[in-house]
Amino acid sequence: MSLSRAPRIIGLLALAVLLNACSAVKIAYNQAPELAYWYLDGYVDFNGNQMVQVKDELARLHAWHRQSQLPVYVSALQKYRQELTNNTSSERVCTVYAEVRRTLMAVPERAEPAIALLAATVDTQQISHLEKRFEKGNADYRDDYIESGSKASRKKRYKQAVDRAEMLYGRLDDAQLALIGKNIDQSHFDARIFYAERIRRQRDAVHNLQALVAARLNGSQNAEKTRAAVRGVMDRSFNSPDAAYRDYQQKFTQDGCRSIAELHNTTTAEQRAHAAKTLAKYEQDMMALMKG
């Protein structure tokens, strides 16, 4: 398994129900183990034994997530929905962001033992397959955010920001659209910094997988060392060892919190009511998913 992709990929089960409140997402959530399997297989190219192991572990993770995590999401959405009628602050938005991040972290923490078991069986051919898949994704990222030029990158980020905002609040007016554009222009976003961290995570994962293969071949592999290696890669994926990147990430996060607060504080009563209805629909969908 791609250790650098694992924290994000195994969060698919959690994130799927947060993307949109519609029947398609309900279907996607119920099919999440199968969808996640094929996504992972595209990176690793599982053999027969791994296929069985991964499918079993994803099914167990999905069952655990449905039973223990969806109720947590429902409670959180109910709390946040009550706040929508009031103005907010960048500090409050960052607090919510930190709370959501801690909640979602339960998924990779739960999956860590299964990831370690799988990582111990990866071979050199699969690592090569993984590196090729990484490079394809890296080429797509470079094309979208670096080589396309600043104007194209800015247009893409603007569209993404508007789509997310209108999914919550409904149609935005010209002043609100201009505010989104202004905040994007003033953001600390730097595609090259994100790209460098992306490469660091991938190299970290590949290096540790190669070390696990070498340990298996020379007979020095053991479960404790494997778990430690996996835990280390996952920790460094969520909390970069690069101090400069951590500083940049903090500034970028603060930019996002400020932008969200500023936009929310310009919304009308009708837009806030639309947002409340959207979150209520999320709650209803999640409660339906809890029943299977």
Residue 75 CB contacts under 8 Å (≥ 6 apart), including other chains: none
**Within-domain flag for 1:** no
**Within-domain flag for 189:** yes
Residue 47: pLDDT over 60: yes
**Domain range for residue 38?**
6-290
**Within-domain flag for 31:** yes
pLDDT of residue 285: 87
**Within-domain flag for 251:** yes
pLDDT of residue 6: 45
Q: What angle do CA 88, 93, 95 make, to 5 degrees?
A: 125
**Within-domain flag for 46:** yes
CA distance 84 to 93: 12
Half-sphere exposure of 135 (CA within 13 A, CB side): 6
CB atoms within 10 A of CB 82: 11
pLDDT of residue 120: 94
**Within-domain flag for 254:** yes
**Within-domain flag for 208:** yes
Which residue, among 218, 216, 219, has the nearest Cα to 208 in the 3D structure? 216
pLDDT of residue 27: 77
**Within-domain flag for 272:** yes
Average pLDDT, integer, range 205-217: 94
What pTM value is reported for the model?
0.86
Number of domains in the chain: 1
For 48-103, the pLDDT digits (tens) are 999 999 999 999 999 999 999 999 999 999 999 999 999 999 999 999 999 999 99
Residue 8: pLDDT over 60: no
Q: How far apart are the first and last CA of the chain?
A: 28
